[in-house]
Amino acid sequence: AQTVTQSQPEMSVQEAETVTLSCTYDTSESDYYLFWYKQPPSRQMILVIRQEAYKQQNATENRFSVNFQKAAKSFSLKISDSQLGDAAMYFCAYTDRGSTLGRLYFGRGTQLTVWP
Amino acid sequence: SAVISQKPSRDICQRGTSLTIQCQVDSQVTMMFWYRQQPGQSLTLIATANQGSEATYESGFVIDKFPISRPNLTFSTLTVSNMSPEDSSIYLCSVATGGLTNEKLFFGSGTQLSVL
């Protein structure tokens, strides 16, 4: 079964600094997607960034980028120039591209605090 | 992207009663997913709802407890039946868009359920 592990329950960063959130996963599939979602206190799940396993190039979205290491099954999120609005719970998630496309497996989350 | 409206946003219910949660999408989607997020926990998939067929439930979830309807390609409901305090959670619906080559998964704003 697919599992997603986030080993950092909590992280903190100073405003304007850079922080990296870790995620590892376990799967026997070769073709899949990985996601980072942000959940602020409003509980809305917001898609931050998405990575396709068959692409070697790391995904980037403005201040957010990932370090995708397929062989190591590692998928970390880097937030540059952190802002107060980045404070939230961050979830790493996985889905197959096969018959279970769309079924997400989530990590336990990392609570990010941003200090002014 | 997809705009997902979920209601109610929150409710407080008595033990033994049932609550139906609605999820409306602004575009036609093949698959809709229902997740549960217990207090302080990550998200767990309850079931996948396909239009025109029975929902597919994950291990630990049964149709009698969580009946799902999917009458068309833009709407689904999840009922939490015979509620107990252990059912107090956030319930979220999710949709997959973009097809196999551009898969993205979006969430509704969630229903905060408290059972007394």
Closest residue in chain B to residue A100, using alpha carbons only = B48
B50 Rama class: left (phi>0) / alpha (psi -120 to 50) / beta: beta
Which residues of chain A lie closer than 8 angstroms to B7, CB-CB? Answer: none
* A50/B43 CB distance under 8 A: no
Mean pLDDT (whole number) for A83-99: 90
Say whether residue A102 is in contact with chain B using an 8 A CB cutoff: yes
Work out the minimum CA distance from B106 to partner chain A, whole angstroms.
7
pLDDT of residue A1 exceeding 70, the answer is: no
Which domains, and CATH codes, for chain A?
3-115 (2.60.40.10)
Nearest CA in chain A to B94: A102
The percent of residues above 70 in pLDDT, for chain A, comes to 96
Nearest 10 degrees: CA dihedral of A51, A57, A59, A60? 180
DSSP annotation of A71 reads T
Average pLDDT, whole number, for chain B?
91
| Confidence band of B1 (pLDDT split at 50, 70, 90) | confident
Question: What's the pLDDT tens digit per position in A28-69?
Answer: 988 888 999 999 988 888 999 999 998 889 999 999 999 999
Domains, chain B, ranges and CATH?
Answer: 4-115 (2.60.40.10)
Average model confidence (pLDDT) across chain A: 92
Dihedral pair phi/psi, residue B8, rounded to 5°:
-75, 165
Distance CA B105, CA B88 (A): 25
Tens-digit pLDDT profile for residues B65-102? 999 999 999 999 999 999 999 999 999 999 877 665 55
Which class for A91: exposed (0-12), middle (13-18), buried (19 or more C-beta within 10 A)? Answer: buried
**Record: contact A47-B109, CB cut-off 8 A:** no
Chain A residues touching residue B48 (CB < 8 angstroms): 102-103
Q: Which residues contact B52 (CB under 8 A, 6 or more apart)?
A: B70
Q: Which of A38, A103, A106, A108 is most worth mutating to test chain B (most B CB atoms within 10 A of its CB)?
A: A103
- Angstrom distance (rounded) from CA A29 to CA B69: 31
Cis peptide before B8 (omega within 30 of 0): yes
pLDDT tens-digit readout, B17-57: 999 999 999 999 888 999 999 988 889 999 999 887 889 99
pLDDT score for B101: 57
Task: Give contacts of B57 with chain A, Cβ < 8 Å.
Answer: none
Residue B50: the pLDDT is: 84
Q: How far apart are CA A74 and CA A5, in angstroms?
A: 10
DSSP letter for each residue of B19-72: EEEEEEESS--SEEEEEEE-TT--EEEEEEEETTSPPEEPTT--TTTS-EEEEE
Residue A64's pLDDT is 98
B52 vs A94 pLDDT, higher one:
A94
Q: How far away is chain B from the Cα of A91, in angstroms, using its nearest Cα?
A: 8
